[in-house]
């Protein structure tokens, strides 16, 4: 790589136009796979290790709504409602898919934040989706209505 290219990428990184993950060409699949490891660690009670993994992933992709959702799941396993609410609020405007929005709605309800859960439901796009997704969506809407 030429010196000029390195300097331009460094400037883009400093300006926030480029993330570490983009710089090192880390794929979404790699982020997803590694975040699964964090969830496994948390499921076995290794919360410190799970948080360390997630902090590293978020350093690579700080604008990933998916990763913030996974970090929220780790905090849920730990029983930390306040941190779940904070993570969900911080990442509310980030891009993510409908499945993440549904999961975020479920997490918000668990953390006793009905307004946030309602906002997540409202963000779910009307699209052709699987039957399983529709059941999950209806279940969350029912829980919100009660």
Question: DSSP characters for 14-74?
Answer: HTTSS-HHHHTT--HHHHHHHHHHHHHHHHTT-HHHHHHHHHHHHHH-TT-HHHHHHHHHH
Domain that holds residue 139: 3-145
d(CA 96, CA 40) in angstroms, rounded, equals 22
CATH at 34: 1.25.40.10
* Residue 25: alpha-carbon gap to chain centroid: 19
Q: Which pTM value belongs to this model? A: 0.81
Say yes or no to pLDDT of 76 above 70.
Answer: yes
Say yes or no to pLDDT of 19 above 90.
Answer: no
Look up residue 140 and give its two tokens: 């969350």
Say yes or no to pLDDT of 128 above 80.
Answer: no
Contact 72, 95 (CB under 8 A): no
Report how many domains make up the chain. Answer: 1
pLDDT band at 82 (very low <50, low <70, confident <90, very high): very high
Give the sign of the dihedral formed by CA 7, CA 12, CA 14, CA 18.
negative
d(CA 77, CA 38) in angstroms, rounded, equals 11
Instruction: Report, as an integer, the average pLDDT of 15-26.
Output: 76
């Amino acid at each position: 790589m030429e010196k000029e290219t390195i300097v331009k990428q460094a400037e883009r990184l400093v300006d926030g136009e480029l993330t570490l993950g983009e710089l090192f060409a880390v794929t979404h699949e790699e982020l997803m796979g590694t975040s699964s490891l964090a969830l496994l660690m948390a499921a076995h009670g290794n919360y410190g290790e799970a948080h360390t993994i997630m902090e590293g992933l978020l350093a690579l992709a700080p604008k990933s709504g998916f990763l913030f959702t996974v970090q929220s799941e780790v905090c849920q396993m730990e029983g930390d409602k306040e941190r779940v609410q904070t993570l969900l609020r911080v990442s509310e405007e980030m891009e993510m898919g409908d499945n993440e929005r549904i999961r975020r709605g479920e997490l918000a309800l668990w953390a006793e934040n009905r307004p946030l859960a309602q906002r997540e439901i409202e963000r779910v796009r009307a699209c052709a989706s699987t039957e399983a997704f529709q059941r999950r969506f209806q279940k969350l809407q029912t829980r919100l209505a009660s």
